[in-house]
A and B are shown apart, each in its own frame.
Chain A
């Protein structure tokens, strides 16, 4: 509701909001999806929805890497971590994600050697320091973290390491957006494109959204004014019947992305035929695995991985939230059985998850909740 400092001038925000309102066609409803969890966080924290006219609704997308990991993959990782002489390493975000038998934290408490690392390179260091152990890195994330895993594998190969491998769960954002566009559940008018993912992939991969689906895309920064500006740019395109890819975040995102990062991914990883996403189901060519040339670093080949599909808990509606069909507060267990302290679903685990972001900051947008409960 209020901007906390001069970087986020409230006057400019209100001016942008007024211009957005002017662009609304009478009687038309607009649904815009912000793909990235970082944007979701900014929107809730600053109550940006309260600045927007009622005709404009923001729909929260699947761009939270922890949130889209299915339970079966968590179980697989825990099975792998329990193998003899294994040290499992993981980003902190992953530690509380529930599998069917608990989280990494639960397994660690029961004696499994799972260690939090900041970087895959820290995982490589643990492998160097423990030559008699087998160190597995739980690799998760979109194109923002995949290059780091790729560079680490290249380094491990150059050093001839034999006790380091990767359990690869990297996912790619474009097929997920396409799955949402093809989903009959939801009709969207435009996309606020992810910021950091685009520093790697650039803006070109979004062109099919504009060309084939006729929807505008604006790649956006993370400040409240960046997001309002991007919404304005989307609404301007819609009012002029244009559908193009525009880059509001050009101060960080180059149009062609980071070629060195894309080369590192391409050298070490290839697309899987399909991968299961929590809530979205199986999506073709939507995730990465190690290339055969790097099989020596592929934990899925080095260890037995059960690969059992596990259904989400019945009460959990993360799938609907990830697709933008439900708002977080419309889930039956939101804020009661499911809280950031005791998450049932992944959207409540990560600060980028829509449920956790809303739980932490939603109090700022009570009017919206009232509207939602009346409708």
Chain B
């Protein structure tokens, strides 16, 4: 829950500018990007996601480093990814 998960922004949902489709370790899910409204990310940029909301923009190198940290955590990250896979934000 407290883990920030890196995701790559794929596209914004056409009729809901607050929502974006992101790729997280191969899992594609919709998240809310409303908290980055002051400086919205572009498709192809990376964000750090907490419980379905992008909290900050990061670069690709930081995304790789965050991912390495998460993979090292093991079970808790797998649980978080499993929870994300169940998520159906719309």
- Chain A residues in contact with chain B, CB under 8 A? 4-5, 7, 37-38, 41-42, 45, 64-66, 91-94, 116-122, 125, 140-142, 144-145, 147-148, 151, 196, 199-200, 221-223, 251-254, 258-261, 264, 351-352
Contacts and interface: CB of A to CB of B under 8 A. Distances in A.
Contact of B48 (A66, A120, A199, A260): A199
23 contacts: A7-B64, A41-B73, A65-B1, A65-B2, A93-B2, A118-B52, A118-B80, A118-B84, A118-B86, A119-B51, A121-B87, A122-B88, A141-B1, A141-B51, A145-B51, A196-B4, A196-B50, A200-B55, A222-B69, A223-B69, A252-B58, A259-B38, A261-B55
A151 B2 contact: no
A119 B53 contact: yes
Given A118-B84, A119-B87, A351-B76, A144 B2 contact: yes
A92 B48 contact: no
Nearest to B30: A121
B10 interface: no
A269 to B, nearest CB: 15
Interface of B: 1-4, 31-32, 34-38, 48, 50-53, 55-56, 58-59, 62, 64-66, 68-69, 72-73, 75-76, 79-80, 83-84, 86-90
Contacts of A7: 64-65, 68
Nearest to B85: A118
Contact of B72 (A4, A121, A142, A148): A4
Contacts of B88: 122, 125
B59 A251 contact: yes
A260 B37 contact: yes
Given A65-B1, A121-B52, 20 more contacts: A37-B2, A92-B80, A116-B83, A118-B52, A118-B86, A118-B87, A119-B32, A119-B52, A120-B52, A121-B32, A122-B52, A122-B88, A141-B1, A142-B2, A145-B2, A151-B32, A196-B50, A200-B55, A258-B56, A260-B36
